[in-house]
Chains A and B, each alone.
Chain A
């Protein structure tokens, strides 16, 4: 299974980077989201994946017993997911706003508008 996830990670990175390199702003945002997902999965995988043992202490126990999924990457990813929502919302609105003002979403044309506004 790890192999498949590794392939997905590579695919997410490749897709994300390809989208970021486009000239359209919307594609840029989609690329960012894909990259973020790829990074999350990477962290998740590097914490090693374990089936069926969530990091939750049993009702009768006081600490996690022998096999359990690593709680640390999970906490990190949870934070990352929520933060990336804030980032995406902001980026989308920024694009929308910029589009309204400069009437283009071509990054190359935005380059030249510095002086005009």
Chain B
């Protein structure tokens, strides 16, 4: 099972070479991956229908409770089938849609990576694993949305989508960790047993709040919905796959998955009903006024997601059943509509719904698929959509409070959605064919067969509900309610209120379709409020952050090494000075100091003069010589104070350094004074103050007693363990031998660096 989930990632790795190997021919073969996964998952169908669940465990980071735990129940199975099934169709469709595209390999790689992450999300049984795959979907969708990376709007939308969903992901992580903190349990499947304990905990509101933000951002709920229309910049297969059928449903999946754990609480239900309600109405009304086919579909998708959130919020068995059915219904018809839009765009070059008409004459099969999808979307019998819509009305009508308000909202939404579906599925094909499109022809079968399959399935499930009822829907409902459901899906419920509502919806919708003609004027009226929409706010915020960081960066990162240094040093000086000023007692304990002999005094005087000479001399050679003097004086100091090893090393190194300098000195630039006097005084002051501070600090430290545990250990054990009597050498080659080994490696690297720097021919420059 792990292999099945990781297959997407593994294949993504080899995809580029694979596609190159196929040389543009038979790229359709790539669809074998999702198809085999589809077959694999469908093989679980009988067991899941029988009420079983399938589990898989693999410890990953056991110390943190993170495991690659996977779990397959009805809900997961529905999603895995959608992901792999629609995935197969999308893979097939893409092979023709992006035929010969330069980066087809990349596209397939992203797509299979996405598929893998999505499978991970819906099957993860560990809340941390869930989060990881959740973020992986965000990342892979970023690449897919920004696939046309040479277009700026495309890049911007990708960034917005990543920003919103990634931001939500962090909230989700916080929610998950809080949940883990409350229960000390990271298995999702074990959490539902603790539902009561979680509800009673004082952190419960935080958990659901955080989980909500995660789910709402992913599933484009109000007020985070705006990234989805923007994400329509992606190639159509992406819109189909990510933004209607799978990824945006991840949020819904999350809510559904956690219903048994967190649900059944007034806060949970009320929030979801309100947010879902607002989203479905707002987006449905928006969808009516769009002219761009993809825009219409984007808003109707948001609206559908709103319906799902709303249904999960209602939380009754009927509502959850409706949600389960509607997930499937929506995936089928919306994917079809998207694929058709892609075909229209591909063949005619426009997606403007007010210009399109009569395409039936040139691409009849596509038109049929569109009609079927639009009808299913409208909920006209005998489609599966009708079953779904009936269930929604059932759920709202039988809700305890405000049943009529909720039903009313559902009706308005459905009317608008029906209108939008007709615009996308019927309008482009009906009527007279404009002359401009007379030469348009039917695309290759790889493009029109996938939407057809989906559309026909939508019809088939509607006519024979038992096909999905027992095998799929029941396990889902039992997973969500933790009870065995006692219902059956029916196409025909008899004459009742629900039927009347359905008829009313359909009639109003169709009437609207004939009365309202989409036009620029209507679009303008709808977009007038954009200025105060959440989208504009976020954009403004983004601009503000960019502006501020630009100013700030230019201020601090000015590109002048010395200003960086001055900033760092001044800050350090201020900090130290402040601490000293706070009343650290400065004193020198004369009794601990050693006396000054005449030799030492001479050496120190020589050193001091050499240092000062190094700084102020105008000659490079003199500076190097003075540095040599400093080095040799060091040697003597080391010698005086019992460090013969250091003295020897310092002596040799100093000799080599001076030789080195002398060798290159005439190739080095002249020793110019580039700075102005003012700068020099400023730097001099800073340097003096800093030097003085270091001195004071050193004196302070000298007053402290030293811990010599480590030195004592080395001193005592050097002969016993290291068999050596020169303790310094024993430390270097034995106790800390590993450090020395790394050190000589570094030295070797430095030598190689010098060697290559000098031998390297800077071709373009040296030819001049």
Residues in chain A within 8 A of chain B (CB atoms): 1-28, 30, 33-34, 37-38, 40-42, 44-59, 61-64, 68-72, 74-75, 77-79, 81-90, 92-97, 99-101, 104-108, 111, 117
Query: Are the CB atoms of B620 and A74 closer together than 8 Å?
Result: no
Query: Are the CB atoms of B758 and A97 closer together than 8 Å?
Result: yes
Q: Does any Cβ of A come within 8 Å of B611's Cβ?
A: yes
Query: Are the CB atoms of A8 and B692 closer together than 8 Å?
Result: no
Complexed CA–CA distance, A79 and B745 (Å): 13
Nearest-CB distance from A101 to chain B (Å)? 5
Nearest-CB distance from A47 to chain B (Å)? 8
Q: Does any Cβ of A come within 8 Å of B510's Cβ?
A: no
Known contacts A69-B641, A93-B664: A18-B683 contact under CB 8 Å: yes
Query: Are the CB atoms of B565 and A20 closer together than 8 Å?
Result: yes
Q: Which of A9, A81, A83 contacts B695 (CB 8 A)?
A: A9
Q: Which 7 A-B residue pairs are closest in the complex by CB-CB distance?
A: A14-B691, A10-B695, A86-B750, A105-B669, A69-B642, A18-B687, A71-B727
Nearest-CB distance from A32 to chain B (Å)? 11
Q: Does any Cβ of A come within 8 Å of B61's Cβ?
A: no
Nearest-CB distance from B685 to chain A (Å)? 10
Per-residue A-contact encoding for B661-692, CB less than 8 Å = 1, 0 else: 10010011101111100000001101110111
Complexed CA–CA distance, A99 and B637 (Å): 36
Query: Are the CB atoms of B627 and A23 closer together than 8 Å?
Result: no
Complexed CA–CA distance, A18 and B255 (Å): 62
Number of A-B pairs, beta carbon distance below 8 Å: 279
The chain B residue sitting closest to A94, CB to CB, is B757
Complexed CA–CA distance, A89 and B555 (Å): 34
Given contacts A38-B694, A46-B702, A85-B657, 4 further A-B contacts (CB under 8 A): A17-B686, A51-B640, A97-B757, A111-B560
State the majority secondary structure of interface residues on B: helix
Complexed CA–CA distance, A36 and B710 (Å): 24
Query: Are the CB atoms of A54 and B711 closer together than 8 Å?
Result: no
18 A-B interface contacts by CB (under 8 A) = A7-B608, A10-B695, A12-B611, A14-B688, A18-B683, A19-B614, A26-B669, A41-B634, A46-B706, A47-B706, A55-B726, A55-B728, A57-B725, A71-B731, A79-B732, A89-B754, A90-B750, A99-B667
Complexed CA–CA distance, A6 and B612 (Å): 16
Complexed CA–CA distance, A93 and B739 (Å): 26
Complexed CA–CA distance, A31 and B715 (Å): 35
The chain B residue sitting closest to A71, CB to CB, is B727
Complexed CA–CA distance, A89 and B660 (Å): 7
Q: Which of B611, B692, B710 contacts A72 (CB 8 A)?
A: B710
Please give, as numbers and ranges, the residues of chain A lying within 8 Å of B184 by CB-CB distance. none
Nearest-CB distance from A117 to chain B (Å)? 8
Known contacts A17-B687, A99-B669, A106-B674: A1-B595 contact under CB 8 Å: yes
Please give, as numbers and ranges, the residues of chain A lying within 8 Å of B595 by CB-CB distance. 1
Q: Which of A48, A78, A83 contacts B646 (CB 8 A)?
A: A78
The chain B residue sitting closest to A64, CB to CB, is B715
Q: Does any Cβ of A come within 8 Å of B719's Cβ?
A: yes
Query: Are the CB atoms of B588 and A78 closer together than 8 Å?
Result: no
The chain B residue sitting closest to A104, CB to CB, is B669
Query: Are the CB atoms of A3 and B588 closer together than 8 Å?
Result: yes
Q: Which of A34, A47, A81, A99 contacts B653 (CB 8 A)?
A: A81
The chain B residue sitting closest to A107, CB to CB, is B561
Query: Are the CB atoms of A63 and B638 closer together than 8 Å?
Result: no
Please give, as numbers and ranges, the residues of chain B lying within 8 Å of A25 by CB-CB distance. 669
Query: Are the CB atoms of A48 and B706 closer together than 8 Å?
Result: yes
Tally chain B residues at the interface, Cβ within 8 Å: 99
Query: Are the CB atoms of A72 and B711 closer together than 8 Å?
Result: yes
The chain A residue sitting closest to B762, CB to CB, is A101
The chain A residue sitting closest to B638, CB to CB, is A44
Residues in chain B within 8 A of chain A (CB atoms): 559-562, 565-566, 569, 588, 593-597, 600-601, 604, 607-608, 611-612, 614-615, 620, 623-624, 627, 630-631, 634, 637-638, 640-646, 649-650, 653, 656-657, 660-661, 664, 667-669, 671-675, 683-684, 686-688, 690-692, 694-695, 698-699, 701-702, 706, 708, 710-711, 714-720, 725-728, 731-732, 736, 739-740, 743, 746-747, 750-751, 753-754, 757-758, 762, 765
Query: Are the CB atoms of A44 and B641 closer together than 8 Å?
Result: yes
Please give, as numbers and ranges, the residues of chain A lying within 8 Å of B643 by CB-CB distance. 44, 54, 69, 74, 77
Complexed CA–CA distance, A59 and B725 (Å): 8
Query: Are the CB atoms of A83 and B728 closer together than 8 Å?
Result: no
Please give, as numbers and ranges, the residues of chain A lying within 8 Å of B640 by CB-CB distance. 51
Please give, as numbers and ranges, the residues of chain B lying within 8 Å of A84 by CB-CB distance. 653
Complexed CA–CA distance, A111 and B563 (Å): 13
Please give, as numbers and ranges, the residues of chain A lying within 8 Å of B634 by CB-CB distance. 37, 40-41
Query: Are the CB atoms of B653 and A63 closer together than 8 Å?
Result: no
Nearest-CB distance from A31 to chain B (Å)? 9
Known contacts A2-B594, A64-B716, A82-B649: A23-B674 contact under CB 8 Å: yes
Nearest-CB distance from B375 to chain A (Å)? 61
Please give, as numbers and ranges, the residues of chain A lying within 8 Å of B726 by CB-CB distance. 55-57
Nearest-CB distance from A43 to chain B (Å)? 11
Q: Which of A62, A69, A90, A105 contacts B753 (CB 8 A)?
A: A90
Query: Are the CB atoms of A68 and B715 closer together than 8 Å?
Result: yes
Known contacts A9-B698, A54-B642, A89-B754: A1-B600 contact under CB 8 Å: yes
Please give, as numbers and ranges, the residues of chain B lying within 8 Å of A53 by CB-CB distance. 642
Query: Are the CB atoms of A51 and B716 closer together than 8 Å?
Result: no
Complexed CA–CA distance, A100 and B263 (Å): 71
Please give, as numbers and ranges, the residues of chain A lying within 8 Å of B717 by CB-CB distance. 63
Please give, as numbers and ranges, the residues of chain A lying within 8 Å of B747 by CB-CB distance. 82-83, 85-86
Query: Are the CB atoms of A42 and B694 closer together than 8 Å?
Result: yes
The chain B residue sitting closest to A111, CB to CB, is B559
Please give, as numbers and ranges, the residues of chain B lying within 8 Å of A55 by CB-CB distance. 642, 715, 726-728
Q: Which of A27, A51, A64, A100 contacts B727 (CB 8 A)?
A: A64
The chain A residue sitting closest to B682, CB to CB, is A21
The chain A residue sitting closest to B749, CB to CB, is A86
